Amino acid sequence: MVTPPCAVTWRLRRTRPPRILHRCSCRRGLAELEPTGRFRVNANRKLLDVWLLLRCRACGQVLKATVLERANVRSIAPALLDGYQRNDPALVEAAIAAPSFRRRNHLTLDFHGTWELRAEPLPPGGEQPVTVEVEFLDPLAVRPAQLIAAGLGISRGRVERLLAAGAIRVDAETPAGLRFTVERRVD
């Protein structure tokens, strides 16, 4: 008789926004920035510039981070333009989460300590493979090895070795989740 494969579900959620890091003139290294929650919109005839204002926590200096640059006014959805003018908090989060925004403005996000994993324990025995589905309840940038290590309660280095040996196999990785299989007991 063939036993059905075991499956468990883990849920990952964000507990706080990530830290925004950027070089500031007040420090030699990276300084932490916080969003002011305000956009600056500037029109030059039919062209529009939109910046998100970020404040350095160390010195209070304000950085204008480019959201849109020389965009034709007609190419921007009226609801989006209205959101920028009203300083919509959802647009602030969306801008910070966008990789193109971070790349253009040389920003780094630090996700350390920003997430919580609710992990069901693996079933006892360990003779048959266990498939683990990880649901991302919020968009997060977490490395699979770091996530697996947190859920199984082992070091990331050990997870890397188990991945290399084939004892753990990542089956699918998407922005909405992760699926991996533990081939045998790893405790």
Domain ranges across the chain: 6-15+112-182, 19-110
C-alpha torsion sign, points 100, 102, 108, 109: negative
pTM, full prediction: 0.67
The amino acid at residue 133 is: E
Q: Are the CB atoms for 36 and 56 separated by under 8 Å?
A: no
Per-residue pLDDT reduced to its tens digit, 129-161: 889 999 998 877 788 999 999 999 999 999 999
Per-residue pLDDT reduced to its tens digit, 6-31: 889 999 998 888 889 988 777 677 88
DSSP 3-state of 61: coil
Residue given tokens 């090895």 in the structure block: 145
